[in-house]
């Protein structure tokens, strides 16, 4: 889901959204699981020789309500983000932050070990570290 911007006066947010949509349109091979970019939470994925690291930028969420699952090599991060409701007589000038249920899915490499997973939530970022199976880790072979 996109960041909503219901108020046309926020030109910058509109341009931002337009740019994101255009980038998506020009992507040669979008993921089979749909929108790869611009969703909530935003995600960075990286890897080291011994682990796969997933960073989900999900600020303002109670970590206890986050649902993280790994099934058949697919990582799913789901949850709900509830925002403070404005008072009855308040007027909303800018409304860009994501609200509601979300779910994002990442396909993991084949060599991960689903039992070696660690998830931490700090400063609004959920970091999931998934270990790689020891027997598939590249080993440097010394030449005698």
Partner 1 sequence: MSETNTVSKADSRDDAALLPPVDVIEDASGITLFADLAGVPKDKLQLHVEGDTLTIEGEVDLEIPEGMESSHVEVGRPRYRRVFTLSRELDASKVAAEFKHGVLKLVIPKAEHAQARKVQVKVL
- Residues of this chain that bind partner 1 (CB under 8 A): 3, 10, 12-13, 16, 36-38, 41-49, 51, 53, 55, 57-61, 83-84, 86-87, 89-98, 121-125, 127, 129
CB of 144 to partner 1, least distance (A): 27
78 vs 96 by CB, closer to partner 1 = 96
In whole angstroms, the minimum distance from the beta carbon of 143 to partner 1 comes to 23
In the complex, what is the shortest distance from the CB of residue 43 to partner 1, in angstroms, rounded to a whole number?
Answer: 6
Residues 93, 10, 7, CA angle at the centre, nearest 5°? 60
Residue 66 contacts residue 79 (beta carbons within 8 Å): yes
Residue number with CB closer to partner 1 (138 or 143): 138
Query: What's the CA gap between 120 and 101, in Å, rounded?
Result: 20
Alpha carbons 61 and 34: distance in angstroms, whole number: 24
Phi then psi dihedrals of residue 25, to 5 deg:
-60, -30
Distance separating alpha carbons of residues 94 and 13, to the nearest angstrom: 9
User: Which C-beta is closer to partner 1: that of 85 or that of 144?
Assistant: 85
């Amino acid at each position: 889901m996109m960041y909503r911007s219901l108020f046309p006066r926020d030109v910058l947010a509109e341009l931002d959204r337009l740019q994101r949509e255009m980038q998506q349109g020009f992507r040669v091979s979008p993921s089979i699981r749909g929108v790869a970019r611009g969703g909530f939470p935003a995600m960075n994925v990286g890897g080291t020789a011994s682990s796969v690291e997933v960073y989900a930028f999900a600020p303002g969420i109670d970590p206890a309500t986050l649902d993280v699952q790994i099934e058949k090599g697919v990582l799913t991060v789901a949850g709900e983000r509830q925002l403070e409701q404005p008072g009855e007589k308040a007027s909303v000038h800018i409304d860009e932050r994501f609200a509601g249920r979300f779910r994002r899915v990442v396909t993991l490499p084949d060599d991960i070990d689903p039992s070696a997973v660690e998830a931490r939530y700090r400063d609004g970022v959920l970091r999931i570290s998934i270990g790689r199976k020891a027997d598939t880790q590249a080993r440097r072979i010394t030449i005698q």
